[in-house]
Amino acid sequence: MAADKFTGLKDFKVNVGGLLGMMQKEAAETEKIKQQLNSQLEYMPDVTKVAENEAPMLQDYFQTGKNQIADLHNELQYADPEGKRQIQQQISQIQNSAKAANGYLSKKVELAQEFRDNIDNISNSMPQDKLKKIKQVLMGNDYKLEFNDYSGKPVYVLPDGSKVEHEELDDFYYKDSKTALTINDYSETYINKGRRNEPLTEADVNILKTKLGQSITDEGSLNSLISDNLIEGMNFGPAIQELGPNATFQEKKEKVVNYITEQLQNVHGQGQKEYNSKQSPAGEEGDFAKSFGTAPSINVGTKSNPERVFKRTDKDGKTYYVKVVEGVEAKDGIKFYTLEDLQAYAG
């Protein structure tokens, strides 16, 4: 019986040793968790890259996240493996949201500077209520910040309680001067074609419509052309009103392209009128000495068989005279490059 008691005592000593080992292991895990917690609480906001009035609100958001992480660590010590995995995911999400919030506010500083630099170039197509709210956020400091706990994206709360989403801050349009200049270039090209009496073919018109469509790429560009009076003599209002308030972007774009095309065709016609006005006789019929060299057209021949030749310039810049019928050079017309040749022809 005594031997049995000693055997039980030996077994008891072994169990105490195992318990001590378990306690040491748990202590090590607890220390590991504490170190991990300290590491996960080290992230700090970079307030040097955000607006001055936003820095305290960003710091508060970071601190709220750290408090949440500390609470989750308390749960972490008692969680099973799957629970620990989920808690670690929550902690990572809190950290990432805070860092994302810092990034959003840093980008906002750049956007605010761009907005200030170009305030005079904002399109009149912007709804004034919307523009006012954007100004309050980008050019003022009387607002509060709320953050999306999942994405970290800020929301700007104005004094009247209305909110401006972060993505709304760059939802404004500049005046589309680039497209307006392109259209002005087309206008210059077409009036000069008319002044040279060059026809405007159907192919020319189709190419023009395609190029105009490629120039108007988005709502901002389209609305600017309609609202900002960038092109003298073009009024898109009546054309757009015909479509009604529910017109789609594509419908409005097509209407604007057709309107611009019609106006440029009119410009070409104006150039042709200028050309034709210069083709009238400059002197009495047959009065060659008075008209030669000073007028765009010259009367030659006799009263019984009158002809008129017109002053032109060829592709090399040389001046010549040739018979013109109804605004077009006669196919059998003789080009006279010298005074002597024309005098000989005129007799």
Cβ atoms of residues 31 and 37 within 8 Å:
no
Among 114, 162, 122, smallest CA distance to 139 is for 114
What's residue 281's pLDDT?
A: 44
What's residue 278's pLDDT?
A: 77
Task: Give the full edge-to-edge strand order of the sheet including 163-165.
Answer: 144-147, 154-157, 163-165
What's the rounded mean pLDDT across residues 146-159? 93
Cα angle 117, 123, 124 (rounded to 5 degrees) comes to 130
What's the rounded mean pLDDT across residues 331-340? 60
Out of 127-131, 314-318, 340-344, the most confident range is: 127-131
**Higher per-residue pLDDT: 336 or 267:** 267
15 has pLDDT over 80: no
Out of 82-91, 129-138, 264-273, the most confident range is: 129-138
Residue 2 corresponds to which tokens in the numbers above? 């005594």
298 has pLDDT over 50: no
What's the rounded mean pLDDT across residues 151-160? 95
Say which residue the tokens 């589309």 belong to.
176
**Higher per-residue pLDDT: 11 or 119:** 119
242 has pLDDT over 60: yes
**CA dihedral angle for residue 230, residue 235, residue 239, residue 241, rounded to 10 degrees:** 90
Q: Which residues pair with 325 in a beta bridge?
A: 328
Cβ atoms of residues 309 and 291 within 8 Å:
no
108 has pLDDT over 90: yes
- Residue 94 phi/psi, 5° resolution? -65, -45
Per the prediction, the chain carries an average pLDDT of: 79
Using CA atoms, how far apart are residues 63 and 51, in angstroms rounded to an integer? 18
pLDDT band at 253 (very low <50, low <70, confident <90, very high): very high
6 has pLDDT over 60: no
pLDDT band at 293 (very low <50, low <70, confident <90, very high): very low
At 127-150, the pLDDT tens digits run: 999 999 999 999 999 999 999 988
Using CA atoms, how far apart are residues 108 and 116, in angstroms rounded to an integer? 12
What's residue 292's pLDDT?
A: 37
**DSSP letter, residue 168:** G
**Higher per-residue pLDDT: 62 or 42:** 62
Percentage of residues of the chain with pLDDT beyond 90: 35
At 18-32, the pLDDT tens digits run: 555 555 656 556 666
Percentage of residues of the chain with pLDDT beyond 70: 69
What's residue 214's pLDDT?
A: 92
What's residue 287's pLDDT?
A: 37
Residue 250 corresponds to which tokens in the numbers above? 């594509």
At 176-234, the pLDDT tens digits run: 888 888 888 898 899 899 999 998 889 999 999 999 999 998 888 898 888 888 887 78
What's residue 84's pLDDT?
A: 87
Helix ranges (H only) for the chain are 2-40, 55-76, 81-117, 128-138, 177-195, 202-215, 219-227, 237-241, 249-277, 288-291, 339-346
Using CA atoms, how far apart are residues 238 and 285, in angstroms rounded to an integer? 49
What's residue 325's pLDDT?
A: 52
What's residue 245's pLDDT?
A: 84
Q: Which residues pair with 163 in a beta bridge?
A: 157
